[in-house]
Structure 1
């Protein structure tokens, strides 16, 4: 009798199907591990979403901590004024009449506009600006090389070369405006003709002269509420507290109004409110439980997330003692009936108008007392920093995934061996049954042959 090697041929049974069903039962622990792994993987992904939401909230909290956001000041200037103005945070509100009678300017000299100066013989050029004296030793060369040598000396004078259409002119300009920054030149050798004294009785101003004054150094002259003032620069920041004037042109009196600017505070608080609500919404959706469908979200019951929710709410409701405002609700930031954080801009405006420094203290603190933003920042940092609470939780879940993978490998190895055993056992059984079936067929044929012989 031939050896039967094809599974099921000897017995007529669907041996592969039987083994598949047996293995499906044996695979149940592996399937359970797959389900467990999917749950843990989803938890890691969900914690990543929580971290992302917290990062957005952190950025909004940093906006609350920006300098001057709660006591910003704005300025308005009449059309046609000879100046612009900007105000630092905390600048007192007020109105001022400002006129500009003269702009500050730097001294400017130039070599002849008709006969190009030749510095090829070289020499020295002493430059004096106020109490500072610098000496440029020039061995000779082109006008451009002399320009570079003067600039390299950092003498408080800027040099340039301008082609006027006929000749090149060396132009020397004071680095700063104001009469105190007028400069004198003393030349020797081939640079002797560049000597210049701004205090001389007859200062050269004719473009045909070897060197002449293009522009005299002068101070700015302005009036503020009828008070005549002189300043060396067109940037004036020491007249009105917290306000910088930039003089632009000679013009008559114009009105400058300094007032509080609440736009920065509104924007910062609204950004925070939006980020907070989005964060809470994200956390709630990932940790919720639906009693009707009896379905739990992926982070339902997670202690890390539950603690985070409690701490965020606690910080917002906790008072900051010692100031005119101790609760966020007093400046318009409060929870509605559904637990959503809202901003009442009218209430915020009233609080800022009453005491912007108290609003700033409530949110930002004052150096000795920590404000709401600082407390929130500490909470968020504990969760989002490297090796923080979320990192620690994710690492724990990652360890679970590693353990699950090792268990799966072990079980899979056992299943592979068991399937091989089943295959061998059923093949052996199939072979034996096939042999018995062949023997039965053979004997049946023999009995029939004997019975036919007897009858004959």
Structure 2
């Protein structure tokens, strides 16, 4: 570390002089820092445009996806029945009667006030066709319940206190005929409260070409391919319909229009010149981003191959450069000619926007991606130069401190010599 004497002899503020000289020395580094700031501003603007174009690409990809067009929505004519479409569900209609819903098997056994609960210290629990022997180590109502619950056979036992005394209640852990059970070995026997049974629906007249379907859990998958129908109570003449999810398609079209408008507006703000305020956007004059905006809006105004005007899809370009979407018109066109609309949107309209956006944002060779990466390389290079200047300026400051310290030391010596010489001359004058 180098120290300096701040004007003790010369009377100069050498630290101030050094700081001012260092500001001059640092001028090149200051210019580099301004360059970094300018590059980062440009980079952030390109990144913002890239994000808008990514939104366009994602919205367009949704409309080109087969899953979007194959999406099915399910409606039911009765509150007793509901339906959910799964992957690969097909459109169709099913009309049927719900004869009964699936029930859980429930049985009970009165607990004797005295004597043994079991005939020989064990029980036989039969679920479906499988019989299992269960040892009862404690011959009490709770002991019987604990033994059955511990065996984990699909039957749960509880002890209830009723107005007529204690009762053992047994319930199946699931619904359906396969979950029905019997319990043998209790001295009081058992009484069935609810018989475990499958849900039953009838399609048409079973005696005249119709058929019946059963379900252990109230869910039917055989009525419409890919659709799960759930019944909750008995009902007659129920119609379940699986149709194309047109609402989802309209939502996807709206999302694409919104993404186009957001991208076009953002690009316009960043690349235009405001004559009133005499200010320019950060990307003013950039041909790439302005070209992207023109391409987005141009694809709307130029129409759709094989269909004609985009207005047939409910999409129009206004004089102010804003794209509008008429949901009702789109749904009407879809209803009138679903195949033509699907082909036009999926393979032409949406695909055109997807290609435009992908050419700009692709992580490998997207034009915006390349610009952002190039700016990033420039910033890294400039920051390295700035770091090099830090070391150079630190060395220069040390050199200046040494120089001015040496100046003060030399001036101090000269002052001492001057004082001594003046003393000698004074002595000679006196002699």
TM range, normalised to the smaller chain?
0.5 to 0.7
Q: For 1:96-245, what aligned pairs fall within 5 Å after superposition?
A: 99-100=97-98, 102-106=99-103, 108-113=105-110, 115=112, 118=118, 121-122=121-122, 125-128=125-128, 133-141=129-137, 142-148=143-149, 151-152=152-153, 157-161=154-158, 163=160, 165=162, 166-173=165-172, 175-177=174-176, 181=178, 191-192=184-185, 209-212=189-192, 214-215=194-195, 217=197, 219-222=199-202, 229-233=211-215, 234-239=218-223, 244-245=228-229
Q: CA deviation at 1:232?
A: 1.0
- Equivalent residue number for residue 399 of structure 1: 380
Unaligned runs of 5+ in 2: 138-142
Q: Please give the alpha-carbon distance, in whole angstroms, between the structure 2 residues aligned to 1:253 and 1:41.
A: 68
Q: Per-residue CA shift, 1:123-150, capped at 9, x if unaligned?
A: 654543xxxx434343434333443355
Q: Please give the alpha-carbon distance, in whole angstroms, between the structure 2 residues aligned to 1:339 and 1:17.
A: 59
Q: Tell me the secondary structure at the aligned position of residue 130 of structure 2.
A: strand
- Equivalent residue number for residue 332 of structure 2: 350
- Equivalent residue number for residue 416 of structure 1: 397
TM-score normalised according to structure 2 size: 0.67
Q: Per-residue CA shift, 1:16-63, capped at 9, x if unaligned?
A: 666555544433212212211222333444455446545655664565
Is the CA contact 1:304–1:389 (under 8 Å) kept in the aligned structure 2?
Answer: no
Unaligned runs of 5+ in 1: 195-207, 451-456
Q: For 1:84-103, what aligned pairs fall within 5 Å after superposition?
A: 84-85=82-83, 91-92=91-92, 99-100=97-98, 102-103=99-100
Q: Aligned-residue CA RMSD in angstroms?
A: 5.3
- Equivalent residue number for residue 269 of structure 1: 253
- Equivalent residue number for residue 81 of structure 2: 83
After superposition, the Cα gap between the structure-2 partners of 1:301 and 1:182, relative to the gap in structure 1 and judged at 3 Å, is same
Is the CA contact 1:74–1:86 (under 8 Å) kept in the aligned structure 2?
Answer: yes
- Equivalent residue number for residue 205 of structure 1: none
Paired residues in the alignment total 404
After superposition, the Cα gap between the structure-2 partners of 1:390 and 1:163, relative to the gap in structure 1 and judged at 3 Å, is farther
TM-score normalised according to structure 1 size: 0.64
Q: Tell me the secondary structure at the aligned position of residue 232 of structure 1.
A: strand
Q: CA deviation at 1:212?
A: 3.3
After superposition, the Cα gap between the structure-2 partners of 1:346 and 1:252, relative to the gap in structure 1 and judged at 3 Å, is closer
Using the TM superposition, name which of 388-397 and 399-408 deviates more.
388-397
Q: For 1:211-360, what aligned pairs fall within 5 Å after superposition?
A: 211-212=191-192, 214-215=194-195, 217=197, 219-222=199-202, 229-233=211-215, 234-239=218-223, 244-253=228-237, 261-288=245-272, 297-299=281-283, 330-360=312-342
Using the TM superposition, name which of 250-259 and 28-37 deviates more.
250-259
After superposition, the Cα gap between the structure-2 partners of 1:134 and 1:241, relative to the gap in structure 1 and judged at 3 Å, is closer
Is the CA contact 1:75–1:87 (under 8 Å) kept in the aligned structure 2?
Answer: no
- Equivalent residue number for residue 204 of structure 1: none
Is the CA contact 1:320–1:327 (under 8 Å) kept in the aligned structure 2?
Answer: yes
